[in-house]
């Protein structure tokens, strides 16, 4: 490492937290989620050239159904029934998207999940969400979870979930800023204005985003552009959908969208 270059941020799980066992069980439940994921949503009659519109049309619905599925998996993340008064609640337009909190007291929060659905056959070929939340908004327990999905018969059927990506939200925020300021090959201004006065579990009106001094490409916060998700994306592009790798489906749909002038 060159002299003077800071070390990459270390990743620390909340091992000293009194609810660490619960945290591990929630993580295991998330990893097992594809086997339990159920939805009443069904799509029929879609043209191949319209397939790239699915993410916008169904993204929020998929995320809501992921939350419902996690609550139905209570026996996995709370086998000893110590957290009967808690459930996963989705909240809109603030960080994190999902809270594990007490049903009768919204202030009693155990952990948060920034939940993102990823339609694997989206044109970009990668999760395209931005995560700009500042470090101090994240607790050591909060997670970022990406749930990939496709329709069961590619152009029709119900959404099917695949192996989720899980990372500590705090580590993702630290790695994002480190990449922007240290790792990028650029001559542009690397500065970041860090949000101040931010505490965990902010309200909608709080200013919680870090902001780059210069970002002509709009890439600040795109975790899929800083290398964090590279091995995971490669794995997902190899997933077989109706016997064909996701990447091969994506190449096919991109070609036909291009031929159709889209």
pTM exceeding the 0.75 threshold for the entire prediction: yes
Q: Among 112, 110, 86, which Cα is nearest to 99's? A: 112
**CA–CA dist 125, 253 (Å, integer):** 11
Angle at the Cα of 150 from the Cα atoms of 171 and 152, rounded to 5 degrees: 145
Q: Give residue-wise pLDDT tens across range 90-112.
A: 997 899 999 999 988 777 999 99
Annotated domain spans of the chain: 20-259
Task: Encode pLDDT of 145-202 as tens digits.
Answer: 999 999 999 989 999 999 999 999 999 999 999 999 999 999 999 999 999 999 999 9
Cis peptide preceding 96, ω within 30 of 0 = yes
Average pLDDT rounded to a whole number, residues 116-125: 92
């Amino acid at each position: 490492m060159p002299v003077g270059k800071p070390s990459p941020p270390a990743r620390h799980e909340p091992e000293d937290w009194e609810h660490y066992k619960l945290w591990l069980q929630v993580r295991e439940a998330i990893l097992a989620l594809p086997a339990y994921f159920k939805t009443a949503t069904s799509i029929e009659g879609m043209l191949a050239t319209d397939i790239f519109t699915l993410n916008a049309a169904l993204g929020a619905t998929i995320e809501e159904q992921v939350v419902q599925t996690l609550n139905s998996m209570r026996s996995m993340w709370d086998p000893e029934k110590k957290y009967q008064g808690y459930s996963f609640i989705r909240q809109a337009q603030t960080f994190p998207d999902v809270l594990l909190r007490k049903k009768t007291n919204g202030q009693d929060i155990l952990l948060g999940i920034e939940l993102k659905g990823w339609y694997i056959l989206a044109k970009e070929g990668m999760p395209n969400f931005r995560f700009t939340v500042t470090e101090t908004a994240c607790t050591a327990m909060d997670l970022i979870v990406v749930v990939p999905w496709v329709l069961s018969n590619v152009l029709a059927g119900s959404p099917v979930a695949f192996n989720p990506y899980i990372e500590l939200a705090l580590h993702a925020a630290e790695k994002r800023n480190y990449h922007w300021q240290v790792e990028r090959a650029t001559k542009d201004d690397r500065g970041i204005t860090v949000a101040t006065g931010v505490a965990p579990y902010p309200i909608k009106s709080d200013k919680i985003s870090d902001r780059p001094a210069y970002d002509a490409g709009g890439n600040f916060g795109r975790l899929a552009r800083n290398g964090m998700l590279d091995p995971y994306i490669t794995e997902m592009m190899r997933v077989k959908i109706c016997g064909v790798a996701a990447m091969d489906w994506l190449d096919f749909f991109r070609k036909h969208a291009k031929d159709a002038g889209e």
